[in-house]
Structure 1
């Protein structure tokens, strides 16, 4: 069975999960106001392997959240993932960050709009259907009172932009899921295993995070 280490560092949440054939074994994560990824990430990785009684050589792949999100967070996560892949000679898997965020809720009707804060009133967002299939691609957009107003179905908003979005987005069909704030490595495990099983790997030498925007200090 394939052991895959999943790394998610695109927001304030520094999250690592170990999975076997897509089923999570253990996860460690912490979301702090200041970005502590550089200090926490490698500690979490080592602790997870120790708890699972595994060695680095037992890993078959490394999965990383590819963005969009914090430039600093993504850079740290991707650098760690690529370093492990190089050292262990195992493949790198990239997972869409907004898909990871959207997959934290299940709905029977309507759509899911995951949003990651991009400073001021700007967000990174996409739209997913009830089956978590992307129906509108990722973009950076500045929220205003007319955002998503052309959509009549129920829209479930998730992510760390909900609080600021509430001040503008007030239509009756808008639902804010306040307890889903950050993407987590927990929600990467099934997707990363599917990609692994289908040999959907990245070029370790050339892979770069999906920043979407030019660098801004996070």
Structure 2
């Protein structure tokens, strides 16, 4: 199937290949999945639907700090293993942060380079959202280093807020969430020290496979990113920006 096709143009019963990319954590991954597309008539309009979650065809794990050298080769290996070409990929799901500044940029740059020639649709998703969806709770937290956490807080009306927080900021959040998904000891330790009444639900770290599954509704709804505006979701500035600014460096040591 040409990569320039949109989801709405696929024939009923045709499989939609989805590539997943996550380079935001201490280790990364790429995954390939197939969505079996079917159509249903709702109030006279045709709607895309899938009866079950995506069929995961395979996943390749990437060692941390090697993304720039291994990411594209891993994608090529995964496609070749499943007798697919880049032109066969109908959509790409990419995790755009928060996480390693370099990892986020490497992943997004690679996805832009892969998607632009064939106008392949791209869906972006937060790593916090993926972790929350993986566990099945609305709130999630990841280690942000420097005694801080990346935090996703569910809103009362269904929305979600994502922020960077240390112990002081966590104490100001009232009420604290009742359940939070975590996948690393550092985030769990900080949350336990402040929110004694919160249940921490531990999980394996989210992967590209989890990202694809989280993005299925957005793919089917055609909620694609504008590649020209696609950027990382950092939640804080890079080390170069922080430590390269004399006034900021001075303030950190007052």
| Cα distance in 2 for residues equivalent to 1:4 and 1:102 | 21
Structure 1 contact 23–190 (Cα < 8 Å) conserved:
no
> Hey, what does 1:69 align to over in structure 2?
99
Where does the alignment leave 5 or more consecutive residues of structure 1 unmatched?
none
Classify 1:118/1:201 alpha carbon distance in 2 versus 1 (closer, same or farther; 3 Å): same
Post-superposition Cα deviations, 1:146-185, rounded to whole Å, max 9, x if no partner, equal: 63874476323413343542662461x33334443x3211
Classify 1:176/1:148 alpha carbon distance in 2 versus 1 (closer, same or farther; 3 Å): farther
2:167 to 130, 133, 143: 143
> Hey, what does 1:85 align to over in structure 2?
115
TM-score normalised over the length of structure 1: 0.82
Structure 1 contact 14–36 (Cα < 8 Å) conserved:
no
CA RMSD of aligned residues (A): 2.6
Post-superposition Cα deviations, 1:69-126, rounded to whole Å, max 9, x if no partner, equal: 21111101100110000123212211122111112213xxxx5532222221111111
> Hey, what does 1:46 align to over in structure 2?
76
Greater RCO between the two (CA within 8 Å, min separation 6)?
A: 1
Where does the alignment leave 5 or more consecutive residues of structure 2 unmatched?
1-14, 36-53, 241-254
SS at match of 2:150: strand
The yes-or-no answer on 1:212 pairing with 2:235 is yes
> Hey, what does 1:118 align to over in structure 2?
144
1:29 to 61, 64, 84: 61
Structure 1 contact 145–169 (Cα < 8 Å) conserved:
no
Whose helix proportion is higher, 1 or 2? Answer: 2
- Count of paired positions: 206
> Hey, what does 1:154 align to over in structure 2?
178
Post-superposition Cα deviations, 1:32-80, rounded to whole Å, max 9, x if no partner, equal: 5x52222221222112112211111110122111222211111011001
TM-score normalised over the length of structure 2: 0.71
SS at match of 1:139: strand
| Cα distance in 1 for residues equivalent to 2:203 and 2:123 | 28
Classify 1:18/1:151 alpha carbon distance in 2 versus 1 (closer, same or farther; 3 Å): same
Could you tell me how far 1:203 is from its partner in structure 2? 1.1
